[in-house]
Amino acid sequence: MSKYTIISKRSQIGNNVRIGNYCIIHDDVIIHDNVEIEDYCTIGYPTPSADGLPLVISNNSHIRSYSLLYQGSVFGENLKTGHRIMVREKTIAGKDLQIGSFCDIEGHSEIGHHVRLHSNVHIGQKSKIHNFVWIYPYVVLTNDPHPPSEGFIEGPEIFDYSVLATMSCILPGVKVGRHALVAAHSLVNRDVKENTVVAGVPAKYLCETKDILLRDGSGSAYPWTHHFHRGYPDSIISEWKKGYYDFEV
Amino acid sequence: MSKYTIISKRSQIGNNVRIGNYCIIHDDVIIHDNVEIEDYCTIGYPTPSADGLPLVISNNSHIRSYSLLYQGSVFGENLKTGHRIMVREKTIAGKDLQIGSFCDIEGHSEIGHHVRLHSNVHIGQKSKIHNFVWIYPYVVLTNDPHPPSEGFIEGPEIFDYSVLATMSCILPGVKVGRHALVAAHSLVNRDVKENTVVAGVPAKYLCETKDILLRDGSGSAYPWTHHFHRGYPDSIISEWKKGYYDFEV
Amino acid sequence: MSKYTIISKRSQIGNNVRIGNYCIIHDDVIIHDNVEIEDYCTIGYPTPSADGLPLVISNNSHIRSYSLLYQGSVFGENLKTGHRIMVREKTIAGKDLQIGSFCDIEGHSEIGHHVRLHSNVHIGQKSKIHNFVWIYPYVVLTNDPHPPSEGFIEGPEIFDYSVLATMSCILPGVKVGRHALVAAHSLVNRDVKENTVVAGVPAKYLCETKDILLRDGSGSAYPWTHHFHRGYPDSIISEWKKGYYDFEV
């Protein structure tokens, strides 16, 4: 039984939902089944910017402690978060999303399926992240081409299977192509071609991703789907093994 | 009515002040009128470094949830914060300050009027920020020229209307001139002249700010006061329209 | 007396331990004597990855508010933390560790004695930090050479007395030698020799640390042990004065 928790009677809470201590569940919240919400969380933080839309947390999700989710976002099933995350309104996310501790998702963005955000990722508004993308700590997706502006906001677009390594910054409107790799501590100010590696400030073409070798001599490190399978369902892995990347997820 | 909140009888709380749930209001706190303090906030965290000075929150302020404000800082009216901010003692800030979520203001600093700090800005001690400055996510203002030192601490000084873009680092004692722009992901190790743009690691002169054009072909993006007015009062905008930048604020 | 706090009867709590409000003390926790735990802390957050090991907080420690410590880590005496820190399981740390606000220590790491981590430091798993190391805000220690991988995780190793300045990123497996200095905003992708300074993206040799002079003309800024003594015990300072750096700590 949770202690010192405040739950609105207007919230809709499914079966087998566990809510921790010191939580606040606001009005405009739909929580589906088999969900765990840990201590000190704020669920469905109200904002007029949500236009009255509820927060939707789907089946089999796990929100870790001290997290803050605004009203007006929708998450697919199997959401897993770290601690102290923050997600603002109108974030529309697919299934199997992982959000690391201290992430700041500013809302008004689209996130695909099976995306992995490590700790302290900052997703500016109007970002678009496709499926199977990996984003590492302290990466920032920006949206303002000549700050401060207003009518010119344009987020980056990060395509399937691409990887943004630690402390990189992606400038407004930049497109990072499929299976691309942005090296750590890069500033990406122009589009990145698929299957390529860019690095530096500003980031320049370094090589093809296939030229990066695994340290054990077993071959190329990319596409990472060749050797990294942790946490993905067998149905997806078997597609990858056949060399398919565009199946329905 | 707030639940599970702890309010010291020694605190001074004005009219029309709303305090959320799970808050702690400590002794040395002066909250003026029409203030909202959201859930899980700590207001007036005690520290001997404050020399007994109170925290002052002025009229029409809004502190969002999970925020932590130390004893011994003073904010002008109309302070707006994001969530989970932290401000230590002896921060002296003007009116209409915005502090984004996860900001870490280390205290012993001066901040002018109408300053905008986005998420995750780190303001080291002894920083001086003038009026109408914009600082973007993950910018760090440092203060130690050869760490760790002690008697040599000197913060940066950021002058009126300048803009520090995402993930830039400003080194100790560096002065960023009026209307200047520090590009994203820059390391600024020498003074930046007014009306100029610097970029890179280390940052070098790139161009005059007026050479940066708005994407819609309507002219120069800077001074940003020509086209960006959101949230500023009409009295200020009308001065800008006349080309005045040094009026009383 | 703490209010609204939840303390497991299975936890072991020593003498003169002060626990704040809204705290949760879980089962597998050993807190020794003269410890202060501030408000909103989670102590001993349970995880199967801890293999049943307890969290150990030793004598004379101080955990500031909103902090989260997992089960399965061990800290030597005199731990001091900032606010909102997070330390995951299997972090083995020596005595006199300081952890700044917003730090994210991902666990499965070793940290020596007298280490200083400022705000927002990210310590990836498998990191090894020796004694008297200083790490500044927004530094990231990474561990994945070609992300995402799994069997290839290797943390950096940071040797005694070295200093990592603000916003630097240390790549997997990199060794930073004794008394070395990594300049601000650097990307370190190869080993750093002792007593040297590296800077840039990627970081290159800049000079010997002894070539960096204190601003008051009193001599070299490094080794910093020559002039910076704040917070260290006299027994250690007297060793440094004799030019000894390898004594038992």
Would you call C214 and B102 a contact, using CB atoms and an 8 Å cutoff? no
β-pairing verdict for C204-208 and C196-199: antiparallel
User: Mind listing the pLDDT tens digit for each residue in C198-240?
Assistant: 999 999 999 999 999 998 889 999 999 999 999 999 999 999 9
Q: Which chains share 3+ C-beta pairs under 8 angstroms with C? A: A, B
Specify the pLDDT at position B150.
81
CA–CA distance, B90 with B99 (Å, rounded to integer) = 16
CA–CA distance, A18 with A33 (Å, rounded to integer) = 10
Interface of A with C (CB under 8 A): 3-4, 21-22, 39-40, 65-66, 83-84, 101-102, 116, 119-120, 134, 136-138, 163, 165-167, 184-186, 200-201, 212, 214-216, 221-222, 224, 227-228, 230
Query: Residues C92, C75: contact at Cβ < 8 Å?
Result: no
* Selection from C34, C63, C30, C32 nearest residue C44 by Cα: C30
Specify the pLDDT at position C125.
98
As a whole number, mean pLDDT of residues A129-150 equals 96
Q: Which residues of B touch C86 (CB under 8 A)?
A: none
CB pairs under 8 A between A and C: 90
Query: Per-residue pLDDT for C150 more than 90?
Result: no
CA–CA distance, B160 with B179 (Å, rounded to integer) = 6
User: Mind listing the pLDDT tens digit for each residue in B113-139?
Assistant: 999 999 999 999 999 999 999 999 999
User: Mind listing the pLDDT tens digit for each residue in C9-54?
Assistant: 999 999 999 999 999 999 999 999 999 999 999 999 999 999 999 9
User: A132 to chain C: nearest residue by CA?
Assistant: C148
CA–CA distance, A32 with A41 (Å, rounded to integer) = 17
Query: Per-residue pLDDT for C1 more than 80?
Result: no
Would you call C149 and A214 a contact, using CB atoms and an 8 Å cutoff? yes
Specify the pLDDT at position A48.
98
Radius of gyration, alpha carbons of chain C: 19
Distance from CA of A166 to the nearest CA of C (A): 8
Report chain B's mean pLDDT, rounded to a whole number.
97
What's the CA angle centered on C35, arms C30 and C39, to 5 degrees? 95
pLDDT grade for A168, boundaries at 50, 70 and 90: very high
CA–CA distance, A170 with A160 (Å, rounded to integer) = 16
Question: What secondary structure does DSSP assign to chain A, as a single string?
Answer: --SS-EE-TTSEE-SSEEE-TT-EE-SSEEE-SSEEE-TT-EEEE--GGGTTPPEEE-SS-EE-TT-EEETT-EE-SS-EE-SS-EE-SSEEE-SS-EE-TT-EE-SSEEE-SS-EE-TT-EE-TT-EE-TT-EE-TT-EE---SSSS-STT----EE-TT-EE-TT-EE-TT-EE-TT-EEPTT-EE-S-B-TTEEEETTTTEEEEEGGGPBPTTSSSB--SGGGT--TT--HHHHHHHHTT---S--
User: Mind listing the pLDDT tens digit for each residue in A61-89?
Assistant: 999 999 999 999 999 999 999 999 999 99
Specify the pLDDT at position A215.
87
Query: Residues B138, B166: contact at Cβ < 8 Å?
Result: yes
Q: Which residues of C touch A66 (CB under 8 A)?
A: 66, 68
Would you call B150 and C116 a contact, using CB atoms and an 8 Å cutoff? no
Distance from CA of A74 to the nearest CA of C (A): 26
Ramachandran angles phi, psi of A240, nearest 5°: -60, -40
Would you call A120 and C142 a contact, using CB atoms and an 8 Å cutoff? no
Distance from CA of A40 to the nearest CA of C (A): 8
User: A40 to chain C: nearest residue by CA?
Assistant: C40
Interface of B with A (CB under 8 A): 3-4, 21-22, 39-40, 65-66, 83-84, 101-102, 116, 119-120, 134, 136-138, 163, 165-167, 184-186, 200-201, 212, 214-216, 221-222, 224, 227-228, 230
Query: Residues B66, B46: contact at Cβ < 8 Å?
Result: no
Specify the pLDDT at position A150.
81
| Partner residue opposite B140 with nearest CB, options C137, C201, C221 | C137
CA–CA distance, B100 with B117 (Å, rounded to integer) = 6
Sign of CA dihedral C69, C75, C81, C87: negative
Distance from CA of A52 to the nearest CA of C (A): 31
Residue type, B205: Y
**Backbone dihedral region of A150: left (phi > 0), alpha (psi from -120 to 50 degrees) or beta?**
alpha
Strand partners, B111: B93, B129
Query: Per-residue pLDDT for A155 more than 80?
Result: yes
| Partner residue opposite A119 with nearest CB, options C24, C104, C187 | C104
Distance from CA of B52 to the nearest CA of A (A): 31
- The tokens for A65 are 């402690």
Other beta carbons less than 10 A from residue A35's beta carbon: 23
Of A216 and A127, the structure prediction assigns the larger pLDDT to A127
Would you call C224 and B147 a contact, using CB atoms and an 8 Å cutoff? yes
CA–CA distance, A2 with B208 (Å, rounded to integer) = 59
Query: Per-residue pLDDT for B1 more than 80?
Result: no
| Partner residue opposite B184 with nearest CB, options A40, A42, A187 | A187
Distance from CA of B126 to the nearest CA of C (A): 16
Instruction: Measure Cα distances from C185 to A199, B139, B203, C128, C224 in Å.
Output: 15, 11, 11, 21, 20
Distance from CA of B138 to the nearest CA of C (A): 8
Q: Which chains share 3+ C-beta pairs under 8 angstroms with B? A: A, C
Query: Per-residue pLDDT for C197 more than 90?
Result: yes
User: C22 to chain A: nearest residue by CA?
Assistant: A22
Specify the pLDDT at position C234.
95
C208 sits in which H/E element: strand C204-208
Specify the pLDDT at position C215.
87
pLDDT grade for A180, boundaries at 50, 70 and 90: very high
Would you call B65 and A42 a contact, using CB atoms and an 8 Å cutoff? yes
The residues near B30 (Cβ < 8 Å, ≥ 6 apart) are B11, B12, B54, B55, B56, B57
CB pairs under 8 A between B and C: 90
As a whole number, mean pLDDT of residues A44-62 equals 98
Lowest mean pLDDT among A140-154, B22-36, B76-90: A140-154
| Partner residue opposite B22 with nearest CB, options C22, C214, C224 | C22
User: Mind listing the pLDDT tens digit for each residue in B149-175?
Assistant: 988 999 999 999 999 999 999 999 999
Give the whole-number percent of chain C exceeding pLDDT 90: 96
